Amino acid sequence: MSPVLAGVLQLLALIVALGLSYRPLGDHMARVYSSDRHLRVEKWIYKGIGANPSVEMRWPAYLRGVLAFSAVGVLFLYLLQRVQGALPGSLGFVSIDPDQAFNTAASFVANTNWQSYYGEQAMGHVVQTGGLAVQNFVSAALGIAVAVALVRGFARSRTGELGNFWADLVRGVVRILLPISVVGALVLVACGAIQNFAGIHEVGQFLNEHSMGGSQQWNGGAVASQEVIKELGTNGGGYFNANSAHPFENPDPLSNLFEIYLILLIPFALTRTFGRMVGSLRQGYAILGTMAAIWLVFTGLMLWTEFAGRGPAFELAGGAMEGKETRFGIGASAIFSVATTLTSTGAVNSFHSSYTGFGGGITMLGMQLGEIAPGGVGSGLYGMLIMAIIAVFIAGLMVGRTPEYLGKKIGTRQIKFAACYILVTPALVLGFTAVAMALDTPSHSMTNSGAHGFSEILYAYTSGANNNGSAFAGLNADTQWFNTTLGIAMLLGRFLPMVFVLALAGSLAEQTPVPETAGTLRTEKPLFTGLLVGTILIVAGLTYFPALALGPLAEGLAA
């Protein structure tokens, strides 16, 4: 079987698996966030944290819950790393330096999981399981909670109440993420991923043609359980430095396809949850169609550019194989790279820095779109709904009507919140990239000069501010400058947009629904889907094209 055909068949199998899961999971999540019933274990949790899950919150109270919970998470994870050397199960690893501890704490709480350290050479069992894995669950559940709050803003009227943050958070973990993760971990273990608490041990003697080689040291860990939630919660990161290219995390092509499925599962299914909660499945299908169209186009372009790489080496290898695992090949690596950068996952099974110039640009543009096709868990849905509001506003200007979306008027206040949302991450990405390129110290971290070196830094801040977490190999990010500035970019890129999303949700929930008329834009039709895709590409293109022209586009045209 040719590598191209194998890649296409894997893509088709992935589409079928996602299609079979779409309806049951989407409906289940709608029931979870619409139910008034609390499970017994949830009641215990509410009692332990002192929360009343039955109290409805307006958007300022909901936001305070989001920020307070996240601030405690950053502080806890930072302190856990700083005292690692004194903890049991530390495997002899010392405490993490202050700047790196801050960067890692900000990264995992912000659902970014950027890593400027070697996982198996820095973190012991307690930090990995009690710190990082816990944040993988709660940061993902927090993203879903904010998305659900926005959906309630569309679904409710004449009230500013958006639900209860603590109930939404706990339900997301207990009823959605944990059950799927248990089953998923068993699947990965069956595929060969490791799951233990073994210490450091030496592995064999390695021979070469000249002499006996030395041994290597490996440590075990609860890898399968952390791997499944890192993909399912679109967290990213890796137990081992090689991430999902490591055979202990991602053993074979079957596990690789399963991990891609986990990355895309909840973000796509949330569109049906949205349709259920607003009372119109066709509205959910319109959002799904927009996400799916962008994802398929990006995947097709990535497969084309990586298989069609020019040059004798590419032709002998059947494509651009540099930086890709031979266990997966070009097709599976390309599909994984698009899935992980069009969501906020950031896990990698290949090194994006080794992709062709255009291929690296595709991964970067996927993040710069706002990671909305289908995007991160929760964040993809609310990001796409923000873009839908922008598209409706543009359509209203074209025909001279007050724009409406799902029966809610999009006035000055709503469009200001939406505009602030779409301006936050570009300001962080381009601002920090410009400063880093202007100063001497950050540029010393680049191992490549010219367009590719610029791409390394642009990619880093794009990944951090968009809460992705993947990186272009070749950039030494373990410095005080990058640890600090990327940590700030990750926190601001995660929580500032949430401020505008919740404020928008509150303003929508207060409105009285507008009756549909003959002049109302039909937002469930393919025409609106096309308008929405165009709006997304224009907004991202106008914002990032000059920077992309200096980096991946220049590199690709020069190849």
Please write the tens of the pLDDT for every residue from 470-520. Answer: 888 778 888 889 999 999 999 999 999 999 999 999 999 999 988 887 778
State the pLDDT at residue 202: 73
State the pLDDT at residue 2: 82
Place of tokens 């501890």: 101
Using alpha carbons, select from 302, 540, 273, 559 the residue that is nearest to residue 430. 540
Q: Taking the domains of the chain in order of start, what are their residue ranges? A: 3-198+219-558
Backbone phi, psi, residue 267, to 5°: -55, -40
State the pLDDT at residue 333: 94
State the pLDDT at residue 269: 98
DSSP state of 93: P
- Within 10 A of 526 (CB to CB), how many other CB atoms are there? 11
Separation of alpha carbons 233 and 224, rounded Å: 14
pLDDT tens readout for residues 327-344: 998 999 999 999 999 999
Q: Which residues contact 276 (CB under 8 A, 6 or more apart)?
A: 26, 27, 30, 34, 284
Query: Can you read off the two tokens belonging to residue 360?
Result: 């690296």
Place of tokens 């943050």: 165
Bond from prior residue into 88 cis (ω within 30 degrees of 0): no
Backbone phi, psi, residue 47, to 5°: -65, -40
- Within 10 A of 522 (CB to CB), how many other CB atoms are there? 11
State the pLDDT at residue 311: 59
Q: Which residues of the chain have pLDDT under 70?
A: 204-215, 309-318, 559
Q: Which pTM value belongs to this model?
A: 0.94
Query: Can you read off the two tokens belonging to residue 53?
Result: 């899950």
